[in-house]
Chain A
Amino acid sequence: MRILLVEDEKNMASFIKRGLEEERYVVDVAPNGEKALFLAETNPYDLIILDIMLPDTTGFSICKDLRAKKIDTFILMLTARDDVKDKILGLETGADDYLSKPFDFDELLARIAALLRRKRLDKNPILKVADLELNQLTHKIMRAKKEISLTGKEYSLLEYLMLHADQVVTRTQISEHVWNEDFDSLTNVIDVFINRLRSKIDQGFKKKLIHSLRGTGYMLKE
């Protein structure tokens, strides 16, 4: 799950990014409106966290611009302004949720998870494919009732594949949702991670779940 964090306060951006990354999210930071618009138009983010008071513009105007450009990524407004009028204006300009600073980090995580669940038909936080289970709340992975331990990146990759089970997922899609801006898509990092996942999930099981499709990408299915 890839998140764009639009925040001009360096220290604020820093802890939110670190905290989210520890929760296996992939985070890009935009310190101003210009960069925020550029990143949001270039990358298919799953969620945008938007500050209102920005040096060059306001979160309201970014929100309006994004919606005008048919970018319907979930937007969570995060700001020190907690006037009801601001909240209403934020939601009216196209934000999906609003959280005022100072906030509880757990609440931020819960709201992000809730927003991300919204676009799925199945609102269950436990994803299931055959006997493979992924709990989005606890980050636990089970195969045939046995717990499997994954690194952060491996988890994000598996989560993405499971959210798109029975669908072909291209390398570009994976790089856009599982890696952030610093990722160099020309390397074979994705293949390396797919192989690691295979060795942890499919090894020792008769039924293989991760399938390679030559020239196109990968697919997770029964």
Chain B
Amino acid sequence: MQKSFRRQIMIGFLIMVFLCAFTAVLAFMTTRNMQKVFLNTMRDNVSSLKAAEELELALLSQKGFLSNYFLDGNPIWLKKLEDKKANFQDWLNKASVVALTPPEKAIIKDINLLYKTYESERYRAKKLYESGNIQGAKNILLKDMWDAFEALYQKCEDYIRINESIIEKSEASLQRKVIGMMILIIVPAFVIIGLVGSMFYLLTRRILAGVEDIAVTTRNINLKSLSGRVGTEDLEQEMEYLAKSINMMLERLERSFEYIKEFSSSIGHELKTPLAIIKGESEVALRKERQAEDYRKALSVNIEEANRMIRIVEDLVFLAKLDYNPDNIKKEVFDFIPFFADIEKRAQTLVVQKQINLTALVPETTVTLEGNKLHLSRLFFNLIQNAIKFTPSGGRINLTAYPEGNVLKVSVSDTGQGISTEDLPRVFQRFFHKEKSQPESSDGIGLGLSIAKSIAKFHNGDIEVKSTPEEGATFTVILPIYHT
């Protein structure tokens, strides 16, 4: 599935909802647990309550055991009574720990006191009985001890009642507390989910709005409307950066397309002329029966034009190779001086016809270059042929080579018509024509200087041009000297 911000944020949101729900469940479970612990404590209360009830019975049975003892004097009753007494003491200790509320505490205290009274009465009765005063013991048993028992019993009843109501109240308040706690955890969780969710949503919308704008703008861009740009106002830093990057890319694209458009229209024009001649020449030749000589002439014109097209195409392929695939061109290290002497010799043969005086000034040391000799000689011949073309008969062309620091400068200057200031920056442009001096010539397709410049650039060099109109022009080739 394709990646999308919207989906990722949606997933993030769902994970958050899940986490919140999980927290809520956890909270619920914790409170439930708490409730359990609390209830267990309560149960302790309840158990002491039960013990209190048992106590009442114990008190009763204590009284019973004592009266039995008084009746038959069997010490077993005393033993049983002591056991119950220990139980009672146990219970009292437990109950005083569990007793939390003041009325409970008060009752426990009362019970303690009453029990002491009851015990001391019992003790007194026992003593009387053992000293033989059976009647006195019976009296205590039936009256004082009975009263103490009644009071104690009454207190135990109170204790049971209070405890029951406390348990009831506590249970209700615990129920309320648990619900309140759950509300306290779950409500904020959902409020946070809502807030974060809407924040997510707004942020996503804001990001996506920028993306949308970029998408719409770029989608509307085609070869006819490369001038469109993405809006950069009122955008976040990151989106602005993206928008600006896209605009810069569009800028470069537009320039490249403009160049290609101009270039292909120029190629079209350059190729259409020879095509029109080949087509026209052939059509005229075929209009009627002719002498063999006429056909021969037509065919040789066609060959001439086909050759012109081949030259144009070869030049273009060469330029493309220089510009885009220069790695396949081999370089060698060579001495420039003999190489240049050879160029001068060949140039001399070209100027003879126009009676141009060609001189060369070359340093006497060796100058080592690294480059492709074939392409470099093409560079110099393009410049020399250009000079010859624009220099009238009787004019002069000077070739000068001189090392300057790390570079070798080779200039080709002529005494021709020169180049006007407005044309000067355009002479290296592809298909730039300037044929005023030779109106009837049809050679030269405006690629010569452009090729020369590309060759110089390929050798990490350059060509500069200076000119005074009507006095001449100087093209200076700058090439780096090779150091071992």
Contact = CB atoms under 8 A, between A and B. Distances in A.
Interface in A1-23: 8-12, 14-16, 18-19, 22
Contacts of A106: 283
B223 to A, nearest CB: 15
B439 A11 contact: no
Nearest to B438: A55
A101 B439 CA distance: 20
Given A19-B287, A80-B272, A12 B277 contact: yes
Contact of B280 (A10, A83, A102): A102
A47 B279 CA distance: 23
B341 interface: no
Contact of A9 (B268, B273, B284, B287): B273
B276 interface: yes
Contacts of B436: 55-56
Given A8-B439, A31-B439, A56-B439, A80 B273 contact: yes
User: Chain B: interface residue count, which band?
Assistant: 20 to 34
A102 B439 contact: no
Contact of B305 (A11, A19, A80, A101): A11
Contacts of B273: 9, 12, 80, 101
A81 interface: yes
A102 B277 CA distance: 8
B169 interface: no
A105 interface: yes
A28 to B, nearest CB: 15
Interface residues of A, number: 25
B70 to A, nearest CB: 141
A104 B273 CA distance: 14
Given A8-B439, A10-B440, A102 B305 contact: no
Given A19-B287, A22-B287, A102-B272, A14 B301 contact: yes
Given A102-B279, A105-B283, A10 B442 contact: yes
B272 A103 contact: no
Given A55-B436, A105-B284, A11 B301 contact: yes
Contacts of A55: 435-436, 438-440
A19 B279 CA distance: 12
Contact of B284 (A15, A32, A102): A15
A100 B466 CA distance: 38
Nearest to B281: A15
A9 B280 contact: no
Contacts of B440: 8, 10, 31-32, 55
B206 interface: no
Given A18-B284, A22-B288, A32-B439, A9 B272 contact: no
B265 to A, nearest CB: 8
Contact of A19 (B284, B304, B438, B439): B284
27 contacts: A9-B277, A11-B281, A12-B273, A14-B281, A15-B281, A15-B284, A15-B301, A16-B280, A18-B284, A19-B280, A19-B283, A22-B284, A31-B439, A31-B440, A55-B436, A55-B439, A80-B269, A80-B272, A80-B273, A80-B276, A81-B269, A101-B272, A103-B280, A104-B283, A105-B280, A105-B284, A106-B283
Interface of A: 8-12, 14-16, 18-19, 22, 31-32, 53, 55-56, 80-81, 83, 101-106
Given A101-B272, A101-B275, 15 more contacts: A11-B301, A15-B277, A15-B280, A15-B281, A15-B298, A15-B301, A19-B283, A22-B284, A80-B269, A80-B276, A101-B273, A102-B272, A103-B279, A105-B283, A105-B284
